[in-house]
Amino acid sequence: MRILTSATLAFALTTGAAFAAAHATPMVEASDQDVSSGVVTADKVMAGENGWLVVHRTDADMKPGPVVAYAPLRAGESTDVAAILQEEVASGDMLMLMVHSEEGGMKTGVFEYTLGAKEDGPIKPEGELVMKVVTAK
């Protein structure tokens, strides 16, 4: 009886953690930062499922532009998420850090998004992008 109780408790805790991760409010926390090291960092990211933190160029219009970096995300809360820049970003450039899903692509674990595509595209709870704009220093 004790083994059954332990197994039931372990299952409930695992299921509860998965449920909480799937129902957490997606968000990105980040601030203006020095990118001279070739890395952009989000302080905290909340994702309801496995996916990607994607760094887009943007400007005063606040529309996502070309992708300049990305990093994998686990479902739930992740802290200190670092994405390696794939091209030069100058001081003063605006960057949009955005949560993308892992859905629709041909391969799991391979970032397949291109601007405007559906593969590994941005999540939009209630029709809104989950993102934070920062300025490179």
The residue ranges of every structural domain in the chain are 25-135
Would strands 27-29 and 94-101 be described as parallel, antiparallel, or unpaired? Answer: unpaired
Give the model's pLDDT for residue 116: 85
- 101 CB-near residues (< 8 Å, 6+ apart): 49, 51, 52, 120, 121, 122, 123
How far is C-alpha 89 from the geometric centre of its chain's CA atoms? Answer: 20
pTM of the model: 0.83
pLDDT, one tens digit per residue, over 19-54 is 555 557 999 999 999 999 999 999 999 999 999 999
CA-derived radius of gyration, the chain: 17
Q: What is the CATH number of domain 25-135?
A: 2.60.40
